[in-house]
C-alpha cells in the first residue's frame, strides 16, 4: 500500500516545465562524429507524463542525461523553468541534479554496502540536510513506498521491485518537481512492473510530478503517458498524444 508522500500539486498544469531548442550532442570518435542528438526541439508541461520512445541507439539516454544535468550539450538550448542548463557551470549543473531532478534507472543503481535508509539519506547529505532529519525523511519515504519493514536491508536482501522502490524513494528525497525514469521496469517481471508503473502514475497524478519515461516498449508508453515523443537517429520523428490517454 503506497501512501501520500506530501508534495504540492502544481496549481497550473499548463506551465512549461522544460523546453529544448535545436539541442545537439555530438561525440567525436577519432575522425568520425556520432550525432547522438541532432537538433531536438520539444516542450514538456509541468505535471505532464511524457513517454520518450525509440529503438536502441536513437538518443533517449543521451537526452535524459542532458535533462538530468549529467552532461553538457554540444549546442542548442535547454531550459528547465527559468534556468538555461547550457549556460551552467559543472558546479551549477551538479546543484541542478541534486535539487531539481530525480533519476530512476533500469538497474536501480543502489549502493550495495548501504542499507535502504542510508541509500535514500545519502542524496540528502549532498543537499546539506542534517543527519537526524535525513534519516527521518528517508524512513518516511520508505514507509510511504510500503517498505516500512525493509529499512535496514541491503540491496541484495531486497527483491527487484523493492530495490526499485528504494531507488524511487531516493529520487524523491530532495523533492524534485521532475522525475526521469530510464527503462524503470526493464529488469522486473510483469506484475512488479505494473506496481512500479502505477506508483509513477500516482506520483504524477497525486503529487504533480512531471515524469519523463524512457522506454522502447510502445505499449507501456501508451498505457501510462499523456503524450509520446519518438526519437530516431537523434531527432524527433513524432510528437503525439498517447493512444490510451484520457481526454
Residues within the interface to ligand ADP (CB under 6 A): 27, 29, 34, 36, 54, 56-62
84, 26 Cβ separation under 8 angstroms: no
177, 100 Cβ separation under 8 angstroms: yes
Closer Cβ to ligand ADP, 54 or 102, answer by number: 54
Closer Cβ to ligand ADP, 202 or 232, answer by number: 232
Closer Cβ to ligand ADP, 62 or 185, answer by number: 62
CB 27 to ligand ADP: min, Å: 4
Closer Cβ to ligand ADP, 53 or 145, answer by number: 53
CB 198 to ligand ADP: min, Å: 24
Question: 175 burial class (0-12, 13-18, 19+ CB within 10 angstroms)?
Answer: middle
Grouping H, G, I as helix, E, B as strand and the rest as coil, residue 44 is strand
Closer Cβ to ligand ADP, 47 or 184, answer by number: 184
The C-alpha cell 542548463 sits at 85
- DSSP state letters, 140-199: HHHHHTT-GGGTT--GGGS-HHHHHHHHHHHHHTT--SEEEEESTTTTS-HHHHHHHHHH
DSSP 14: T
CB 105 to ligand ADP: min, Å: 12
CB 217 to ligand ADP: min, Å: 13
Amino acid at each position: 500500500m503506497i501512501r501520500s508522500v506530501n508534495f504540492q500539486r502544481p496549481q497550473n498544469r499548463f506551465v512549461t516545465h522544460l523546453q529544448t531548442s535545436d539541442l545537439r550532442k555530438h561525440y567525436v570518435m577519432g575522425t568520425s562524429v556520432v550525432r547522438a542528438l541532432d537538433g531536438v526541439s520539444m516542450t514538456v508541461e509541468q505535471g505532464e507524463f511524457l513517454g520518450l520512445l525509440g529503438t536502441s541507439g536513437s538518443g533517449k539516454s543521451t537526452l535524459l542525461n542532458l535533462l538530468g544535468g549529467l552532461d553538457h550539450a554540444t549546442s542548442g538550448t535547454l531550459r528547465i523553468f527559468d534556468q538555461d542548463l547550457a549556460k551552467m557551470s559543472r558546479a551549477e549543473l551538479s546543484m541542478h541534479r541534486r535539487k531539481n531532478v530525480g533519476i530512476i534507472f533500469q538497474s536501480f543503481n543502489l549502493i550495495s554496502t548501504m542499507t535502504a535508509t542510508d541509500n535514500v539519506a545519502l542524496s540528502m547529505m549532498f543537499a546539506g540536510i542534517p543527519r537526524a532529519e535525513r534519516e527521518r525523511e528517508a524512513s518516511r519515504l520508505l514507509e510511504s513506498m510500503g517498505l516500512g519493514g525493509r529499512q535496514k536491508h541491503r540491496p541484495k536482501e531486497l527483491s527487484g521491485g523493492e530495490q526499485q522502490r528504494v531507488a524511487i524513494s531516493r529520487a524523491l528525497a530532495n523533492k524534485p518537481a521532475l522525475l526521469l525514469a530510464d527503462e524503470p521496469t526493464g529488469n522486473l517481471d510483469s506484475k512488479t512492473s505494473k506496481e512500479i508503473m502505477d506508483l509513477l502514475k500516482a506520483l504524477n497524478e497525486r503529487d504533480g510530478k512531471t515524469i519523463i519515461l524512457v522506454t522502447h516498449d510502445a505499449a507501456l508508453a501508451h498505457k501510462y503517458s499523456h503524450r509520446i515523443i519518438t526519437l530516431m537517429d537523434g531527432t524527433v520523428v513524432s510528437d503525439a498524444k498517447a493512444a490510451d490517454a484520457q481526454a
